[in-house]
Amino acid sequence: MAALELMRRRELIHAFLGAAAWSACQKGGGAERPQVPGALVDRAFEWGHALRGAAPLPRAQALEPVDVVVVGAGAAGLSAAWRLAGAGVRSLRVLEVDEGPGGTARSGRNAVSAFPWGAHYLPAPTREGGPVMRLLSGMGLVTGVDDAGRPRFAEQALVREPDERLFYRGTWYDGLYLRAGASGEDLRQLQRFEQAMDALSKARDGQGRKAFDVPLERGSDDAEWTALDRLSMEEWLHQEGYTSPRLRWLVDYACRDDFGADAAAVSAYAGIWYFAARHGEGTGSDGYLTWPEGNGRLVAELQRALGPGQLATRALVHAVEPVDGGVAVHAVEAGTERPAGYLARRVVLAVPRFVAARVYVPWRQAPPAFLPAFQYTPWAVANLTVSEHPGGRGVPLAWDNVLYESKSMGYVVATHQRERMVDGGPTVLTWYYPLSAPDVKAERERLLSSGYADWEALVMADLSAAHRDIGRTAERLEVMRWGHAMVRPRPGFLFGPERRAAAVPAGAVHFAHSDLGGLALFEEACHHGVRAAEEVLAGLGGRPQETWL
């Protein structure tokens, strides 16, 4: 490798992963290995950028009349379509710019396994009711309730053990808290933190609502709890006297995992929500539901509600405009710009706020004041196919494998649910990296300006820190860059006026997306998709008014 290229790679790895990753890569001989064959597989952001062009996109001369158009086939859009189909709406179109449905819950497949391209698990709900439980019941995954009234789930969907492990200085350890070498004070602070989160999971307001609930809208909005939204999680930790570096690492990891930013940039309400919301009366979570394709399994179940011809992919919607007789929806086929148009009685705009502001014509002409409040973390997700399970000293290969000294989130193993976790046999490792610095625009530019060779170097350097022979077993690497992967719950955002204002319908146009919940999670996307669909049903009239919320 040329000296100039070696220097560039070193700077790249330092910037993205930290010095420890470069040092480990050097020890493992990773600096001079052959490049793993592969490719960048993202295309939708390129097509979406056509919305920023100066020239208007073509419009169809004739508009097809339909009852409802859903723009966006991510988890929120598919949840809206699922609810509408369940209520008997047949005159329905779902338009998606990407090559397949699912958004950041998309999945892929190769000869070895299915694998996720984004969200890879769903925390097991702790009580009955709501659209997510309805979905899981329809999938045959709810097997009953326990003595405490909590749902029980099919064993094949619950994460098998070992579920989590942590790599630190040459050895894998059980769980995500580094107990090896922890001081007495470290362990005392961990115990105090866990007891505090347990108490907060049980806390209720005067109306009997949980202080922290799933989805967010079911929780309390009393000032006692919403005041936490004005602090950062880091400020709350300092205020409560949590100084242990190991505990702070765990909290930072949690914030980056669910929210794409460090504790310093995340609302304390959101940070506590991560630890306290998914517990039933303080009794703890029932674990995680997962599949080889991650939340792609949930996407496939939602998509089953659609009839032939109701879903159109590679459909770039560029104008949603109120007109006489309804709402005009104009789209072009991505790549060809062949136009299509619809005249809908109602529209569900199930896209992020920044996209809605470009396609909903009244907002394009007069951008709403709430737009700047919505900021989004970019992510990179890579799927690496290997000829055999990676080895390592300490705890054996787990479902979720985290590197303590790296800025990445580590990797999950696609075949974990399918087979016994013993060394041997091919598998797919799904690697995650949030670009979590405060300047999201600069992070997005950093993401998209890095090509395949850059991401290949980063993934392999990161994994070689824990698996020195990963270069020998690596067969193919594919990388997906998500420019706006998840909304950031910054201090003041969750209970500020902007988030609520953004969800208010505009006449016959209704809004849905996980960003309206402030947390980029499947539960929020499903809730807001169903909420928007129920608004549509009320507007159409003559439809069943049973609520799924």
Cis bond upstream, residue 352 (ω within 30): no
Q: What is the pLDDT of residue 221?
A: 96
Fold for 160-286, please state it. Answer: Guanine Nucleotide Dissociation Inhibitor; domain 1 (1.10.405)
Span 3-32+376-487: which CATH code? 3.90.660
Fold for 57-157+311-374+488-549, please state it. Answer: FAD/NAD(P)-binding domain (3.50.50)
- 366 exposure class (CB count in 10 Å sphere: 0-12, 13-18, 19+): exposed
Q: What is the pLDDT of residue 492?
A: 98
On whether the CB atoms of residues 47 and 103 are closer than 8 A, the answer is: no
- Express each pLDDT in 458-496 by its tens digit: 999 999 999 999 999 999 999 999 999 999 999 999 999
Domain assignments of the chain as residue spans, ordered by start? 3-32+376-487, 57-157+311-374+488-549, 160-286
Show Cβ contacts of residue 290 under 8 Å, excluding neighbours closer than 6 positions: 120, 121, 122, 157, 159, 399, 416, 417
Q: Which residues of 29-46 are buried (b: 16+ CB within 10 A; e: fewer)?
A: ebbebeebebebbbebbe
Q: What is the pLDDT of residue 13?
A: 82
Provide the residue type at 368 as one letter: P
Order of strands, edge to edge, in the sheet holding 171-174? 38-40, 474-487, 376-386, 427-434, 411-413, 400-403, 164-168, 171-174
Q: Give dist(CA 381, CA 455) in Å, integer.
A: 10
Q: Give dist(CA 186, CA 293) in Å, integer.
A: 37
Q: Give dist(CA 41, CA 336) in Å, integer.
A: 19
Q: What is the pLDDT of residue 283?
A: 44
Cα dihedral sign, 45-51-56-61: positive
What is the model's pTM? 0.95
- Residue segments in the chain with a per-residue pLDDT below the cut of 50: 3-4, 28-30, 282-284, 421
Q: What is the pLDDT of residue 542?
A: 66
Q: Give dist(CA 136, CA 298) in Å, integer.
A: 8
For 329, the 3-state DSSP assignment is: strand
Q: Give dist(CA 139, CA 82) in Å, integer.
A: 13
Question: Matching CATH topology for 57-157+311-374+488-549 and 160-286?
Answer: no
